[in-house]
Each structure stands twice: as C-alpha cells, then as structure tokens.
C-alpha cells in the first residue's frame, strides 16, 4: 500500500478538498466499516445514511454529499470514478521481476522484451512477441505467432491460440481463452462438416477480459475487441463478433457469431444476443434479456421478466394460456360494435 496526504490526492486527481490537506491515508474502505487513515466514497444514495457516522479520514462525494459529510470531503462530479483512481494509486498492482522462469518452455524464435516477466510452466511457441513490461502468468500458453503488447498482464492459465493479438495495458484474468475455433459447422446428408476457422482474435488497448471468458477466432475475417472494452467473467464471444470501444459486458452473456456491438454500450448479466445482428452505439441492454433483432437506435432495452412470488407467476402463466381466446372475443366485440354504429348512423 502507498501513503498520501489528502492534499496530494486532491491535486493528483483534480478533486476539491474540504478539510485538512495534511491528513494522511494509506488505504480505502467502505463507508460503514472505514477507520481513520482510510478513504471511502459515496456513489449510491442508499448508503447516504452512513455519511454522518463514518470513521474514514475522507469521503469522495459529489457537491450535495459534501454538505452532509462529517469528515473531510474530496468533491468530484463522478465520485465512483474518482474513487477508482484513488484506490488504484493507494493499492498498486504488485510488480513482477523481469525475466523468464526456468520452467517455462520458450521457442527460440519468440521475441520477449527484456523487461517482461514470464512465469513458471508457461509455454511460448514460435514467433510469439511479448512487449515491454508485459507479465505472463503461470501456466499460460501463447500459440504460434501470438502478440502481447506493452504493460499487458496475463493471469494464470490464460490461453492464446495462434496469431491472437492483444494490445497494450490489457488485463486477461485466469482461464481466459482467446482464439479457439468458432462454432462453424455445415450440415450434410450424413452429418456435420467442420468449417475451417481461418481468422484470429484482435484485442485493442486497455481491454480487460474476465476469468474463464472465451473469445473465438473468426471464420475468415477476425473477431475484434475494441479499445477499453471491459468483459466480465464467463462470457462467450463467438466468431466474427465485433465489439466497439468503451463497451462493458457483464457476466454470463452469450454473443452469437457475426454480431456487431457498437461503442459505449452496456450489456447486463445473462443477456443472450442472436447472431448476425447489429447493435448501434450507446445502447444499454438490461440483464437476462434476449436480443433477437438488431437494435438500430440508442437507448435502454429490456426483454426480461422480473421475479415475482411463485403463486403470482403461476396465475400469470395460466392467464397467458387464454390470451388467444381473449383476443378472438375482443375482436368479435369490436366487430359487433362497428355493425351497431353503422346501423344507427
């Protein structure tokens, strides 16, 4: 952990300090459990009641929250983002010593920067490039021709198939697999014929990919993940998918092949997206929705049914079964009223 004064934090991150600039902090904490020497934040109004009783040395808040803050306030228009930057500064990632572990298997044609770290039991195949200060975690496998940009970190057991390219300052968490074959099969009279998957995966800069997330290689063209995309754990990205810059996708989302997702989109957990669709920029899809058609206008979309008490749900389902009959009866009534109006006119 690092140590800083509130004055240093305010100056570094462009925050307005209300309080003593010489107070020192060494860590972050929650509003409710904070102790002296820590920084916390308020972003969700439901926790506002803890402002008056927090024991933190300072709270990152907006202007309205600062008025109710019982300790020093670090004022920001976006408290959560400001807190994230402060937390990263106070709790930096542990460094990794440059060099290649003796148990790693490295092809002699691979090019590994002298400042990079290659952990134990790593396998690096022919023609791989590893950039400056990159970290390759234990048990990871880099297939032939793969490329890792500067300052990118691979956790344990990350697998990059052949020719996968990952940009700079990326984070790939444990178990992520990039570049496996897409689900390409053609049906014939006597079974299935495998369609060769000839593309690869191209990942931009500042991308984070969660644990056990899979990104398939393209069938002919590449699967592309844009700059600053954030993928949560256990996401399936199929072949030839393209995801625009600054899009965030929550866990357990499944994206079918050849779908394009625009920039600055937010996809909630458990969403299913059918193939060959287009989702434009600035779209939000709420959790557990099914996207079965292209979304051509920015906005918030939902197709999920919120959970209700089981008895109520059974009654709803029972009524759904009678919708066709009710529709026919309403149409018949409408026809009857139209005939009556015509006779009376």
- For tokens 């290659």, name the residue: 118
Where is pLDDT greater, at 334 or 162? Answer: 162
How far is Cα 216 from Cα 315, in angstroms, rounded to an integer?
A: 42
Backbone angles phi, psi at 9, to 5 degrees: -65, -45
Of 206, 205, 224, 207, the C-alpha closest to 215 is 224
How far is Cα 88 from Cα 80, in angstroms, rounded to an integer?
A: 12
CATH architecture of 99-301: 3 Solenoid (2.160)
How far is Cα 333 from Cα 126, in angstroms, rounded to an integer?
A: 75
Measure the CA angle with vertex 157, ends 155 and 160; round to 5°: 90
Check: CB of residue 203 under 8 Å from CB of residue 166.
yes
Query: Mean pLDDT throughout 61-80?
Result: 95
**DSSP 3-state helix, strand, coil percentages of the chain (rounded to 5)?**
20, 30, 55
The pLDDT value recorded for residue 147 is 98
DSSP-assigned states of every residue in 170-225: -EE-TT-EEEEPP--EEEETTEEEEPP----EEE-SS-EE-TT-EEEPPSSS-EEE
Of 161, 193, 166, 181, the C-alpha closest to 257 is 181
Query: Mean pLDDT throughout 124-131?
Result: 98
Q: What is the pLDDT of residues 221-253, one digit of tens each?
A: 999 999 999 999 999 999 999 999 999 999 999
Backbone angles phi, psi at 286, to 5 degrees: -75, 155
How far is Cα 73 from Cα 59, in angstroms, rounded to an integer?
A: 5
Candidates 3.90.1300.10, 3.30.1280.10, 3.40.1390.10, 3.40.50.970; correct CATH number of 4-90? 3.40.1390.10
The pLDDT value recorded for residue 123 is 98
Residues forming a β-bridge with 58: 39, 72
How far is Cα 288 from Cα 207, in angstroms, rounded to an integer?
A: 24
- For tokens 């006119």, name the residue: 345
The pLDDT value recorded for residue 95 is 86
Q: What is the pLDDT of residues 178-201, one digit of tens each?
A: 999 999 999 999 999 999 999 999
pTM of the model: 0.91
Where is pLDDT greater, at 343 or 126? Answer: 126
How far is Cα 275 from Cα 90, in angstroms, rounded to an integer?
A: 43
List, by residue number, the catalytic residues: 239
- Torsion sign over Cα 293, 264, 40, 252: positive
> What region, left, alpha or beta, does residue 232 occupy, with left being phi > 0 and alpha being psi -120 to 50 degrees?
beta
Length of the chain: 345
CA Rg value for the chain: 27
Check: CB of residue 116 under 8 Å from CB of residue 97.
no
Out of 1-5, 14-18, 164-168, which region has the weakest mean confidence (pLDDT)? 1-5
- For tokens 């529709």, name the residue: 327
């Amino acid at each position: 952990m690092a140590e800083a004064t509130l004055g240093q934090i305010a100056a570094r991150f462009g925050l307005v300090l209300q309080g003593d600039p010489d107070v020192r902090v060494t860590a972050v904490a929650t509003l409710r459990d904070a102790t002296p020497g820590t920084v916390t934040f308020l972003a969700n109004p439901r926790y506002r009641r803890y402002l008056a009783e927090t024991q933190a040395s300072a709270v990152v808040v907006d202007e309205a929250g600062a008025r109710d803050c019982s300790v020093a306030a670090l004022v920001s228009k976006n408290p959560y983002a400001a807190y994230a930057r402060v937390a990263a500064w106070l709790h930096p990632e542990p460094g990794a010593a440059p060099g290649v572990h003796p148990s790693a298997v490295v092809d002699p044609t691979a090019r590994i920067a002298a400042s990079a770290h290659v952990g134990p039991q790593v396998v690096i195949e022919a023609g791989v490039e590893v950039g400056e200060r990159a970290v390759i975690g234990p048990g990871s496998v880099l297939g032939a021709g793969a490329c890792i940009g500067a300052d990118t970190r691979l956790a344990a057991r990350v697998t990059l198939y052949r020719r996968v390219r990952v940009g700079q300052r990326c984070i790939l968490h444990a178990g992520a697999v990039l570049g496996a074959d897409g689900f390409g099969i053609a049906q014939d009279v006597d079974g299935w014929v495998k369609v060769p998957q000839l593309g690869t995966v191209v990942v931009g800069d500042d991308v984070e990919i969660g644990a056990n997330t899979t990104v398939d290689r393209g069938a002919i063209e590449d699967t592309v993940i844009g700059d600053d995309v954030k993928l949560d754990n256990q996401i399936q990205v199929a072949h030839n998918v393209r995801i625009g810059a600054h899009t965030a996708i929550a866990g357990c989302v499944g994206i079918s092949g050849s779908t394009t997702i625009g920039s600055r989109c937010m996809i909630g957990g458990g969403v299913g997206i059918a193939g060959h669709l287009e989702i434009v920029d600035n779209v939000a899809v709420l959790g557990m929705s099914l996207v079965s058609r292209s979304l051509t206008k920015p906005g918030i979309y939902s197709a999920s049914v919120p959970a209700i008490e089981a008895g109520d749900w059974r009654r709803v389902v029972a009524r759904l079964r009678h919708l066709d009959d009710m529709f026919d009866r309403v149409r018949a009534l409408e026809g009857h009223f139209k005939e009556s109006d015509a006779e009376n006119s």
